[in-house]
Structure 1
Amino acid sequence: MIGKIVTGKSFKGCMLYLHEGRLQETEELQQQEMEKKQAQVIAYNQCFGNKKELIRQFIEVSKLNPNVSKPVFHLTISLAHADAGKLNNQQKADIAASLAKEFQFDRNQYVAITHADTEHEHLHIVANRIGYDGKTASDSNSYKHMAEFCRKMEQAYKLEKVLSPNRFLKPEQRVAQGQRIDQRKEVLKKHLSKAIKQCKNVQQIRQYMEDKGYKVEQGRGIAFTDQQNVYFKGSQVGYSLQTIENKLIQEQQLKQELKQQKQQQEQKLALERQQEQIRQQKRSRGHGMHM
């Protein structure tokens, strides 16, 4: 289990993202994105309604403390691939309730949302840091608290154990930084490098990566989800959409140059063979005259 927590400014932006997915270029693609997400609210706390009603309710309560610039808590719990299907919605709602208590927003507004778009299950909790009493839930040491919480839940629900980040471990438990290279990123980079060498355009690269088991999302940028359902933006591994397009152009130019060099070399060899044949013919004629 891996946990992530961020604070934000916009309840609307967070809610729309979780209900509708990433912003797409057309209404048709946006509808497909929503259908793929299949967002489902499995728990409400101190609030209720559809996404528009929830947004309005959260904003109204956040006004009780207008000095807080980031009233949004967005917490994500990602289950390991091996744990797919182990938890039902009630258990996920219970985890959300435990998480709310851990971060002391259990008396505040929050909703727990699941998605059915991947085998790698995610639980999202959107919470109002501002309570009905105007007090604000602290985000101090939130990453450490989240790591500790995940270890507790793994034990409680018999889930696959995941190492906490180095900075949250005791010195004797820490792994050398050089040993913590994210192999998933390295594998993704190798696949993209090979794809660029073999493909002529972005569409072919998408097909190549999908054949390798990745889900590819392309809009204003490009992103990849591997077979463990870990999501990477292309820019995170040095392959933004613009970079890929530039590298494709460079690769095609290089192939053209190599093709021209090969043709020139073949022409040179053909010319040398022709010249050698002419020299042999001259030597043969000279030898015949001397006889």
Structure 2
Amino acid sequence: MIGKISTGKSFGGCIHYCLNDKEQVSMQEEVMVGRAEVLMYNQCYGTEKEIISQFNEVRRLNPNLASPVLHVTLSLSPGENLPKDKLMEMCEDCAKEILFEKNQYIAIYHKDTNHQHLHIVANRVGFDRKTVSDSRSYEKVAKYCRKMEQKFQLKEVLSPRKYLSEKERLIPRQDIRKEHLKQDIQLALKATKNYPQFEAKMTVMGYQVLKGRGISFTNDKKVKLKGSEVGFPLMKIEKIFALKQEQEKQQVTQPQTQTETQLPPKEAYERYLLQKRQQQGVNLLQAANKNLAKEINSLIDGLMKPEQPIEQQVPSLLMKKKKDKKRQQGMHL
């Protein structure tokens, strides 16, 4: 569930938009007739003109307020549907959460998209002349949406990190698109030996790859993500392929033994000793290369794991600094 909130100057413009069909911009554009349905009236009632007049009468109780209009939009994810009584309950909860439940407001249900969404137009000026604060309004709406997701068992959406508590910021966050990209990069790295093969593999998997000072990937939905956002910056990808090339160089081919021929006993014995020394040298080289291959594979496996995003590292560092600061303060007591 996604919520948006804004303030404005004109009740007329906002209420007219919410209660009427969209205006046709071009002849090719289809306009849905009857897209708006009023779900709730609070401290107001009547036609569009009458409602606008009632809102304007109350706003005059605080003539110094430049933006008396409060406009909230609530959108459910595609495929989610709630009955009208639940939508009304959601609107009432919104009014209580943002503290305009005693003021004039009207809730409208729009039907012109593939997902349910509501508009709430409220008067920030109350009958007691008090004004609904617009401070931290985005944070309030984000918290309200998370509550509604739990209450009505809706799909959870991530709140902006700056609106989370310090404890919540420590919890790793997952983005489905980033998780998919991360897994696809890992698969492509394992299946290829060099960068050109890797880029071709990612293209086959549906990504457009852009390589410059860094690397970015654009999926089939035109969503662009940097490699560094999913733990695979360009430097790391290039290092993986450098190690793979080093690994290939260490492959030792077994020397072919000369075909046995009838030799005199002395020459046959000398040939035997020479081949034995050669085999011992090959065995030592193969053992050294085997150990080196293990080290390279270990390095590659480590690099295959995505780096932790910077935004997840910062809270941990901040917590460590706070603990160090408290420890130092305790020493001076």
The two structures have a TM-score, normalised by structure 1, of 0.57
**Bigger radius of gyration, 1 or 2?**
2
Cα distance in 2 between the residues matched to 1:106 and 1:187: 40
Structure 2 match to 1:103? 98
Residue 39 (structure 1) aligned with residue 36 (structure 2): yes
TM-aligned CA deviation for residue 174 of structure 1: 6.3
Structure 1 pair 108–34 and aligned structure 2 pair: CA distance change class (3 A):
farther
Matches within 5 A, 1:137-216: 137-169=132-164, 170-173=168-171, 187=221
2:39 alignment partner, SS class? strand
Structure 1 match to 2:60? 63
**Residue number among 87, 97, 104 corresponding to 1:92 in the alignment:** 87
TM-aligned CA deviation for residue 109 of structure 1: 0.2
1:52 alignment partner, SS class? helix
Structure 1 match to 2:50? 53
For the Cα contact (< 8 Å) 1:11–1:55, is it kept in 2?
Answer: yes
2:221 alignment partner, SS class? helix
Structure 1 pair 186–108 and aligned structure 2 pair: CA distance change class (3 A):
farther
1:158 alignment partner AA: Q
TM-aligned CA deviation for residue 176 of structure 1: 9.9
Q: Specify every segment of 5 or more residues in structure 1 that has no aligned partner in the other structure, as ranges.
A: 191-291
Residue 133 (structure 1) aligned with residue 133 (structure 2): no
TM-aligned CA deviation for residue 173 of structure 1: 3.4
Structure 1 pair 186–174 and aligned structure 2 pair: CA distance change class (3 A):
farther
Q: Specify every segment of 5 or more residues in structure 2 that has no aligned partner in the other structure, as ranges.
A: 182-216, 225-333
Cα distance in 1 between the residues matched to 2:38 and 2:130: 26
TM-aligned CA deviation for residue 118 of structure 1: 1.7
Structure 1 pair 148–58 and aligned structure 2 pair: CA distance change class (3 A):
same
Structure 1 match to 2:72? 75
For the Cα contact (< 8 Å) 2:32–2:112, is it kept in 1?
Answer: no
2:108 alignment partner AA: I
2:31 alignment partner, SS class? helix
2:4 alignment partner, SS class? strand
Q: Which runs of 4+ in 1 moved over 3 A?
A: 21-26, 173-181, 183-186
1:43 alignment partner, SS class? strand
How high is the sequence identity, in percent, across the aligned residues? 46
Deviations 1:254-281 (A, max 9, x none): xxxxxxxxxxxxxxxxxxxxxxxxxxxx
Cα distance in 1 between the residues matched to 2:140 and 2:107: 19
Cα distance in 2 between the residues matched to 1:2 and 1:184: 24
Deviations 1:191-243 (A, max 9, x none): xxxxxxxxxxxxxxxxxxxxxxxxxxxxxxxxxxxxxxxxxxxxxxxxxxxxx
Cα distance in 2 between the residues matched to 1:19 and 1:166: 34
Structure 1 pair 34–118 and aligned structure 2 pair: CA distance change class (3 A):
closer
Structure 1 match to 2:7? 7
Cα distance in 2 between the residues matched to 1:55 and 1:98: 24
1:56 alignment partner AA: S
Cα distance in 1 between the residues matched to 2:17 and 2:100: 22
2:10 alignment partner AA: S
1:150 alignment partner, SS class? helix
Cα distance in 2 between the residues matched to 1:184 and 1:94: 40
Deviations 1:134-182 (A, max 9, x none): 110011111111111111111111111111112112431365999699x
Structure 1 pair 179–143 and aligned structure 2 pair: CA distance change class (3 A):
farther
Matches within 5 A, 1:248-259: none
For the Cα contact (< 8 Å) 1:19–1:34, is it kept in 2?
Answer: no
Structure 1 pair 173–117 and aligned structure 2 pair: CA distance change class (3 A):
same
1:187 alignment partner, SS class? coil
Cα distance in 2 between the residues matched to 1:186 and 1:73: 37
For the Cα contact (< 8 Å) 2:77–2:115, is it kept in 1?
Answer: yes
TM-aligned CA deviation for residue 51 of structure 1: 1.2
Cα distance in 1 between the residues matched to 2:139 and 2:9: 22
- Alignment RMSD: 3.0
Deviations 1:81-135 (A, max 9, x none): 131x2x1111111111111111111110001100111221101100000001111
1:14 alignment partner, SS class? helix
1:42 alignment partner AA: L
